[in-house]
């Protein structure tokens, strides 16, 4: 893995996790988050901290480790606990060779460097959750450039879609995701094969790379937000993508 790319991703983790920590420390721990699994700011803070602790253990051991849920930290202690786990995660990412063998969620990339990329987008989507607590719609954090958001779409399709595709129903047609802030286009066929580019599509949704990522992360709906998403073609095909349980 190129060292400059790895270093860039670590700095993004640093920036995003620092923003998450700062804003969570100021927020009401009982503030509502629009997800059943972490219904409050305090629950979300503990969840992200648990993920950080888990990834740090995976990085340190190089082996598969079970993610433990249910942190016992109180709302008052959760910020300190998260800060400590953030420090440990960043230290592990910076100290370890990105090409060192390590268990990951992607069998095709069993290297330590996988986790720097994963933690960028894990932190990013939950930063969006935190900032939009109690609001009607999620907004894309502005800390990332469009090319970083495009990398997030690639990661979703390469990792999460690849893991889910065996249990997904076939799509009723070809869907295209088209970024309006860069030359990025992804097409997904009926069997969930992904291509960059591609001319033919039965349904196309165009938006910024950031909003397309939020769509895939189930944090934006192209049917409810036409000012953000331009749709063409068969809505039933696009709806099948939106409704597919890819990230569970």
Q: How many domains does the chain have?
A: 2
* Residue 77 shares a structural domain with residue 121: yes
Quick check: helix, strand or coil at residue 62? coil
> What is the predicted pLDDT for the residue at 37?
80
* Residue 21 shares a structural domain with residue 124: yes
Specify the DSSP class assigned to residue 158.
Answer: I
* 111 occurs within a structural domain: yes
Q: What is the pLDDT along the chain (248 residues), one digit of tens a residue?
A: 688 999 999 999 999 999 999 999 999 999 888 777 888 999 999 999 999 999 999 999 999 998 877 655 555 688 999 999 999 999 999 999 999 999 999 999 999 999 999 999 999 999 999 998 666 678 899 999 999 999 999 999 999 999 999 999 999 999 999 999 999 999 999 999 999 998 899 999 999 999 999 999 999 999 999 999 999 999 999 999 999 999 76
> What is the predicted pLDDT for the residue at 32?
87
* Residue 163 shares a structural domain with residue 203: yes
> What is the predicted pLDDT for the residue at 33?
86
* 104 occurs within a structural domain: yes
* Residue 56 shares a structural domain with residue 89: yes
Quick check: helix, strand or coil at residue 193? coil
* Residue 127 shares a structural domain with residue 155: no
* 136 occurs within a structural domain: no
Q: Would you say the pTM of this structure is higher than 0.85?
A: yes
Q: How far apart are CA 175 and CA 222, in angstroms?
A: 13
Give the range of the structural domain holding residue 153, as residue numbers without chain letter.
146-243
Question: What's 48's domain CATH number?
Answer: 1.20.120.450
Where is the domain boundary, 96, 131, 166? Answer: 131
Where is the domain boundary, 131, 161, 186? Answer: 131
> What is the predicted pLDDT for the residue at 71?
56
Condensed to tens digits (0 to 9), the pLDDT of residues 30-65 reads 988 877 788 899 999 999 999 999 999 999 999 999
By CB neighbour count within 10 A (0-12 exposed, 13-18 middle, 19+ buried), where does 174 fall? buried
* Residue 77 shares a structural domain with residue 158: no
* Residue 171 shares a structural domain with residue 238: yes
């Amino acid at each position: 893995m190129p060292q400059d790319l790895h270093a860039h991703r670590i700095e993004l983790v640093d920036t995003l996790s620092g923003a998450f920590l700062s804003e969570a420390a100021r927020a009401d721990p009982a503030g509502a988050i629009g997800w059943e699994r972490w219904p409050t700011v305090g629950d979300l803070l503990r969840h992200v901290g648990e993920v950080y602790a888990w990834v740090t253990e995976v990085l340190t051991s190089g082996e598969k480790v079970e993610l433990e849920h249910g942190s016992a930290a109180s709302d008052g202690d959760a910020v300190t606990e998260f800060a400590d786990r953030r420090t440990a995660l960043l230290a592990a990412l910076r100290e370890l060779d990105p090409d060192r063998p390590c268990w990951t969620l992607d069998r095709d990339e069993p290297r330590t460097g996988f986790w720097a990329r994963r933690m960028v987008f894990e932190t990013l989507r939950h930063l969006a959750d935190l900032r939009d607590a109690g609001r009607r719609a999620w907004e894309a954090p502005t800390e990332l450039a469009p090319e970083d958001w495009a990398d997030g779409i690639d990661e979703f399709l390469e990792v999460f879609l690849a893991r889910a595709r065996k249990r997904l129903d076939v799509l009723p047609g070809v869907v295209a995701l088209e970024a309006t802030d860069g030359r990025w286009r992804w097409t997904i066929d009926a069997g969930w094969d992904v291509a960059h580019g591609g001319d033919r599509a039965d349904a196309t949704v165009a938006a910024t790379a950031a909003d397309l990522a939020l769509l895939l992360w189930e944090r934006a709906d192209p049917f409810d937000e036409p000012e953000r998403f331009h749709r063409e073609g068969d809505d039933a095909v696009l709806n099948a993508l939106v409704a597919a349980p890819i990230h569970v």
